[in-house]
Amino acid sequence: MISTKENRKYDRQIKLPNFGIEGQKRLKSSKILVIGAGGLGSAVLYYLTCAGVGNIGIVDPDKVDLTNLNRQILYFESDLEKSKISSAIEKLSQLNPDVNFIKYNHSLLSDNAEKIIKEYDFVVEASDNFKTKFLVNDVCVKLGKPFVIGGVFQFEGQLMTVLPKKTACYRCAFKDAPEKGSYPTTSEHGIMGTTAGFFGIVEANEAIKYIVFKEPEKLLLNQILYTDLLHNSFETFAIQRDESCSVCSDITL
């Protein structure tokens, strides 16, 4: 059921073509998991919350640090040293008190990922490390959970959406996590807040479209969006399912 207040609050999206009250009901009854409440996650959480997603799980073990504040828009200077999850939910609950938030105040690890992810309809991977990205891919493919996965660095970012066993997965595109220390990190080389915000918004948009429209052709499937915001370059690259993928192929290696 959508209340009179909700009908008014979400008026401008309910009026979108093919969205309607039915789309809003789908959002309200949906459960979306956001892994990481940092630069990407802040933007993801902001937009999922104001769109009226009924149930939002948040996984993040960290506390707010001064270096977070150039991009992690859910946190203020008054939140320094506080838990990110509690600080985030404090703001998001004011933004939209009708959303139910579920806290996971710890890291996503191989021994807890399945138990958490299986509770959700869609997963937004918004972490800052390859280990978590590959773990989310592998568990989501195993459980058949659709997800969007993204990464940002300086002014650049890339992003793809995966419908497990139907479209190319993160491992089809990138094989294995690079060795720690073999790739540049944002803590060493920087990240512009707007880059994280932009990609977080595209991730939230993919999640909302998946829930509302149920039309795969509207999603970033079998392709990677690559954007360089320093040079205003916006491109998509086609990728294919790897028939020998160690995770999503039917071949047991």
- What are the residues binding Zn ion (CB under 5 A)? 169, 171-172, 245, 248
C-alpha span between 68 and 85 (Å, rounded): 14
Of residues 210, 195, 129, the one with CA closest to residue 162: 210
Tell me how far, at minimum, the Cβ of 115 lies from Zn ion, in Å: 23
CB of 174 to Zn ion, least distance (A): 10
Specify the residue, 174 or 210, whose C-beta has the smaller distance to Zn ion: 174
C-beta of 22 vs 243, nearer to Zn ion: 243
CA distances 193 to 3, 46, 70, 108, 202, Å, are 36, 15, 6, 24, 15
Alpha carbons 242 and 136: distance in angstroms, whole number:
18
Give the whole-angstrom CA distance, residue 237 versus residue 7: 39
Q: Based on CB atoms, which residue is closest to Zn ion, 53 or 141?
A: 141
CB closer to Zn ion, 63 vs 131: 131
* Distance in Å, CB of 162 to Zn ion, minimum: 8
Q: Which residues are CB-contacts of 205 (< 8 A; sequence separation ≥ 6)?
A: 47
Closest contact distance (angstroms) between CB of 237 and Zn ion is: 16
Q: In angstroms, what is the minimal distance from the CB of 74 to Zn ion?
A: 32
Whether the CA torsion 225, 207, 197, 139 is positive or negative: it is negative
Would strands 55-59 and 31-35 be described as parallel, antiparallel, or unpaired? parallel
Measured from the CB atom, is 160 or 248 closer to Zn ion? 248
Q: What would the DSSP string read from start to end of 57-121?
A: EEE---B--GGGTTT-TT--GGGTTSBHHHHHHHHHHHH-TTPEEEEE-S---TTTHHHHHTT-S
Nearer to Zn ion, 87 or 137 (CB): 137
Q: How far is the CB of 242 from Zn ion (least distance, A)?
A: 5
